[in-house]
A and B are shown apart, each in its own frame.
Chain A
Amino acid sequence: MSTELQLIDTIFFSDKRKNLLLLLKDGPKTIEEIKKGLKVSSSPIMAQIRILLKEGMLVQKGDSYCLSVKGKLIIPKMEPLLATFQVFDENHDYWARQNLRTLPPHLLDRIGELGSCKELLPERTHIFDYPPEIMDPLYKSRTVTEISSIFRPGYPSLYLDLAKKGIEVSLVLERQICERLISDYRADVKEFLNMENAHLFVCDQKIELASSIVTDRFISLSMISKEGRYYNHEMISFEKSALVWGQELINYYKDLSEQITQI
């Protein structure tokens, strides 16, 4: 097991080399394109290029540089590793505290795609509400879906309001939450279901996450801790890759759910 694996040093312990490799992943680049892409000057980056050429990670073709076969085998492993580490590093204590197995396994393996995240904690004035910061992006969204295993104060008023603004909204709720919604807010739910752009789904499987909101602008997660505790928060990301990840999360639970069209 204890091989030296010196390449690790070459790859990871220089940001310049790391970024250069990731840049070349998208295809061959000339020195001018590299300088522009990494915003660096010629001589320092040439030194790094020479090191990577020597290690066999790059090859030179004419006046451009590209990943070697070796590079092409390694970089696809390096990228998810770096992305995962970055997500954990940015909010280390949060991820260490949460029960990560509440995420579907195939999406947990791609947690790096969440990219740069920020935890929103509502102040005391909104302690039981959605953090006010998400209202603006929420109302600017074209589609909004929330999956949830907890009863949140936005049901159904917030979603009714979003729907009335012409936003395509879907609620995917665990069975008991959905039942409470229907029994406590019968008239509102009827109005909701009568709208063409509002959809309600009931999930008979356990939704392990507390909740997640996915829109065409952002994704936010609200998770349960390892001890099974919950506090009101949103872990939010606006990155493109996170939106794709979120869409898959939604689809995963939608596939386990049935749509309710009338009550």
Chain B
Amino acid sequence: MLIDWFTVGAQVLNFIILVWLMKRFLYQPVLNAIAAREQKIAAALADAANTKAEAHKQKSDFKQKNLAFEQQRTDLLQQATDSAAAEGERLRTEATQAADKASAARAKALSTDTQHLHAEIVRQTQQQVFDIARRVLSDLANTSLEQRTSDVFIQRLQNADGETLASLSKALTDTSESNPALLRSAFILPAAQQMAIQTALENKIGHSIALRFETTPDLIAGIEISVQGQKLAWSIADYLSALSSIPPTAHAKSDATEAA
């Protein structure tokens, strides 16, 4: 008999024990290890997927930020360009205005300088005329300029027209010692000439007057009497003014006549 039933029973028992042993020492540990590794791999894959998703998100955010930054840069550049253009226009306008103002100021200064130069030329001319006249009179006529000026003033007084004389006479009527008429001269008049002028005035007007003599260098070799708004004067300045009011042709004619 090939089948030993005791052995069969023993082998069944052995096989059941072997099944338990294999489950205990082989299948369960191996399956646990595989499951743990799969779990690890799944976790790693999930982590990688999360990382990838995060990277994609960051990439997207970065792209959006880049676009926004580019847009902002373009806007700022445009704004800066506009501001620069506006500032340039403003500065150009200001420069133009400043140039116009400077040009006007320069023109004004030039005009002022011209006027000052003219005045200085007039003053120096007057002074030169005064000096020349003084010298000519002193050298040739043995007469001082002051004396000649007093003479000319007295002569102008004698030759004054009726209207001027009447108004002057009316103004000099109210003079007194406390309210004398003012006679200004560019130089100190000697007492003789003061007396001569006062005498000529009193003779011409016909009553005594009170005079106060005052020296004013600005008159430049002139004598001037002023009272209550009336003035009678002669000076080199008036003389030059009279000369300058004559047209050049009149000067030429006058020179030609004198030459003839």
Q: Do A and B actually bind?
A: no
Contacts from A to B (Cβ < 8 Å): none
